[in-house]
Amino acid sequence: MADSTTPLLTADRLSKQFSVAGTWPWQKRVLSAVNDISFSIAPGETLSLVGESGCGKSTAGRMLVGLTTPSSGRILFEGRDVAALSSRQRHDLHRNVQLIFQDPYGSLNPRMTVGDLIAEPALLFGLADKRSVAARVSELLGLVGLADRHADRYPHEFSGGQRQRIGIARALAVEPRLIVCDEPVSALDVSVQAQIVNLLRSLQDRLGLSYLFISHGLSVVRHLSHRVAVMYLGNIVEIGPKGAIFARPAHPYTQALLAAAPVARPGARRARVVLAGDMPSPLNPPSGCRFHPRCPFAIERCQREIPTLTSGEDGRLVACHRWRELAAHPAEAPSVRHSPRTAQLLALYRNAAAGSGHRIGIS
Ligand code: SF4
């Protein structure tokens, strides 16, 4: 039996590798999508997973809802190892942990009415019968800000924001305790994003839901989260309370992500940490700290030694050899380090510009 301090869900050293075909049919390569990540989510809490596309955050979310099997590590729900559950208990777990997709249209059967789409999971899990299901559908439509008349319409008759509301109502139909929200607003207009985020917040207050919120939009994350985990190339590089992470990001990658995010207040200043190059391929990750080819603070040690998460006083964990030193002596990032290919292109541009006598604005 879980006590009040037991996290609702715990990811314990989760990893996921995919086998990928090489150039030749007999060649097999290993893509390391998620590496040894650990976190927990308390009842009523929102933990956000942020990072660039391809950093493994969606794979982590899919493992939690059972759509992808971890290669190693454990998932605990209320302290119980999911792998050791009976099929009946696993059925219960699937009811308790639901997923909201980025593109709800892709997950809604276009031949079913909205009423049937919302009724289906409630009937399947025995949470309503044929007589009571209409009232339940009406209640769920009201919860997500839609009207009863919408029940007879089809998904294609709705806007993107309304379809996301239908997706949320469908997830709520089974009375979950945790919802994994995989980029639920990134395909929506900014004004609609705010409506959906406010809806998720009010549902959390009313129903005591927990969220794992997967996003690359930091303004949304700031609005919704209690804690934030930053992922880079399959690893969590920093995790901690939202206030600490946004006020004083400790990992150079977190600093770069925040520096790249738009600022709402005109004239507001941020530390400049500029990333060079693209994220390396997870098929061939760099040695040592995976961030070292792009890190403006990298030293020789970073190339050979993998940093582990170490804890700070404000409840955060950071995976960087130099984070305490950098926090004690905050410095401007040195000039931008370009990848060899980018440096080569810039040299070509400069030479061409010098030959033509034109000035170009590349530094
Ligand atoms: Fe940068 Fe080194 Fe820290 Fe990695 S360990 S983030 S390369 S300073």
- Same domain? For 220 and 256 the reply is no
Q: Residue 27's pLDDT is what?
A: 78
Residue with tokens 């997709």: 101
Closest atom of ligand 1 to 326 CA is 8
Domain limits at 280? 247-313+322-353
Residue 329 forms part of a structural domain: yes
Residue nearest to atom 5 of ligand 1 (CA): 320
The CA-atom distances, in angstroms, between 284 and each of 31, 32, 51, 55, 243 are 8, 9, 19, 14, 34
Closest atom of ligand 1 to 289 CA is 4
- Same domain? For 265 and 326 the reply is yes
Q: Separation of 346 CA from ligand 1 center, angstroms? A: 26
Give the E-state strand segments of the chain in sequence order. 9-21, 28-41, 46-50, 72-77, 80-81, 97-100, 178-182, 210-215, 227-232, 235-241, 310-311, 317-318
Inter-residue contact 108 to 161 (CB < 8 Å): no
- Same domain? For 177 and 70 the reply is yes
- Same domain? For 257 and 335 the reply is yes
- Same domain? For 109 and 204 the reply is yes
- CA 40 distance to own-chain centroid: 14
Residue 362 forms part of a structural domain: no
Residue 213 forms part of a structural domain: yes
Q: What is the count of structural domains for the chain? A: 2
Residue 361 forms part of a structural domain: no
Residue 294 forms part of a structural domain: yes
- Same domain? For 200 and 269 the reply is no
Q: Separation of 335 CA from ligand 1 center, angstroms? A: 16
Q: Separation of 308 CA from ligand 1 center, angstroms? A: 11
Q: Separation of 295 CA from ligand 1 center, angstroms? A: 6
Q: Separation of 316 CA from ligand 1 center, angstroms? A: 17
- Same domain? For 38 and 187 the reply is yes
Inter-residue contact 339 to 278 (CB < 8 Å): yes
pTM: 0.85
- Same domain? For 221 and 163 the reply is yes
- Same domain? For 186 and 66 the reply is yes
Closest atom of ligand 1 to 296 CA is 1
Q: Separation of 75 CA from ligand 1 center, angstroms? A: 29
Q: What is the pLDDT along the chain (363 residues), one digit of tens a residue?
A: 455 678 999 999 999 999 888 777 777 888 999 999 999 999 999 999 999 888 999 999 999 998 999 999 999 999 999 988 888 888 888 899 999 988 777 888 999 999 999 999 999 999 999 999 999 999 999 999 999 999 999 999 999 999 999 999 999 999 999 999 999 888 888 888 889 999 999 999 999 999 999 998 788 899 899 999 999 999 999 999 999 999 999 999 999 988 877 665 555 555 556 676 778 888 889 999 999 999 989 999 999 999 999 998 899 999 999 999 988 876 544 444 445 554 554 455 445 444 444 333 333
Residue 118 forms part of a structural domain: yes
Q: Separation of 349 CA from ligand 1 center, angstroms? A: 31
Q: Separation of 252 CA from ligand 1 center, angstroms? A: 7
Inter-residue contact 239 to 257 (CB < 8 Å): no
Residue 22 forms part of a structural domain: yes
- Same domain? For 259 and 213 the reply is no
The CATH number linked to 109 is 3.40.50.300
- Best residue among 238, 321, 329 to mutate for probing ligand 1's pocket (most ligand atoms within 8 Å of CB) is 321
Closest atom of ligand 1 to 290 CA is 4
- Same domain? For 141 and 255 the reply is no
Residue nearest to atom 7 of ligand 1 (CA): 292
Q: Residue 260's pLDDT is what?
A: 75
Which residues line the pocket of ligand 1, CB cutoff 6 A?
251-252, 289, 291-292, 295, 297-298, 302, 307, 320-322
Residue 230 forms part of a structural domain: no
Half-sphere exposure of residue 216, counting CA atoms within 13 Å on the CB side?
15
- Of 193, 225, 257, which closes a domain? 225
- Same domain? For 221 and 252 the reply is no
Closest atom of ligand 1 to 252 CA is 6
Inter-residue contact 251 to 238 (CB < 8 Å): yes
